[in-house]
Amino acid sequence: MKDQYGRLTVDVQGGGPLGRVVAEVLANGDIRARVQHPAVDLPLRADGKLPVGQAVGTDGFFRVLRQEADGQWYQSQVELRTGEIGDDFLHYLWQSEQVSSAVSLGVLVGTEGLVVGAGGLMIQALPGCPESLLDQVARDFERLTQISRRLADGETLESFVKMVLPEPIRWYPREPLQFRCWCDRERIADTLKTLPYADLTDLISDGGAEVTCHFCRRAYHFSQNELESYRGNAAT
């Protein structure tokens, strides 16, 4: 993010049983994510890992949207290859941004269905990076196996960086990340105000409206009186 008002969205639609997968992050570190059908239950792969590719599917696209400080959206997308998010993210970086990159992602789910280890590492080459260094990083990056299990066992992302990048390494200050939805009642009310007159009339006849955020599942109730005030300005 180049400014404090940026927003990044990753939208994956692969035709698999999970349906649409969306993750968003703001420049301040707020993250929210959702899948269309979260109750999907598939057997583990033969190697004991989660069948992410099967759940996501491969008949679709991997899309990245960026919102800049001026409010303008910029997007690019590529076709899905494997449905494995790390693989398709790497494919996107190469096809769309044409930057030499390496990506490793992992999630470890315990026996009780809770995440016990998760993390990722992305490396991109800056202009002018020598080919010899790219080859060295590529070889060392292949050692980053079972990243989620190693994180669960106490290893750190910093230790992984030291494995794949030569010294000296310049460390920048940490930027905190937190799962927090930024939905609010006023924003949802603005959406309701754009509904046609007939639709608002139906909601009023139903006794009001309850709108649930797709990300955090928080419910917002709007009374008949509120909807009637919105209908007064609606197009017939």
Q: Which domains does the chain have, with CATH numbers?
A: 7-179 (3.55.30.10), 185-231 (3.90.1280.10)
Taking phi first (over 0 means left), then psi (-120 to 50 degrees means alpha), and beta for anything else, what does residue 154 get?
Answer: left
| Residue among 67, 106, 66 nearest 86 (CA) | 106
Q: What is the DSSP letter of 45?
A: P
Mean pLDDT, range 27-42, rounded to an integer: 92
* Global confidence as pTM: 0.82
- Tokens 């999970």 correspond to 18
Mean pLDDT, range 38-42, rounded to an integer: 90
Alpha-carbon span 205 to 107, nearest angstrom: 46
Q: What pLDDT is attached to residue 154?
A: 93
pLDDT band with cut points at 50, 70 and 90 for residue 3: low
Contacts of residue 165, defined as CB under 8 A and 6 or more positions apart, other chains included, come to 123, 137, 140
pLDDT band with cut points at 50, 70 and 90 for residue 72: confident
DSSP, collapsed to helix, strand or coil, labels residue 37 as: coil
On the question of pLDDT at 70 being above 80, the answer is no
On the question of pLDDT at 45 being above 90, the answer is no
Tallying the residues shown for the chain, one arrives at: 236
Q: What pLDDT is attached to residue 112?
A: 82
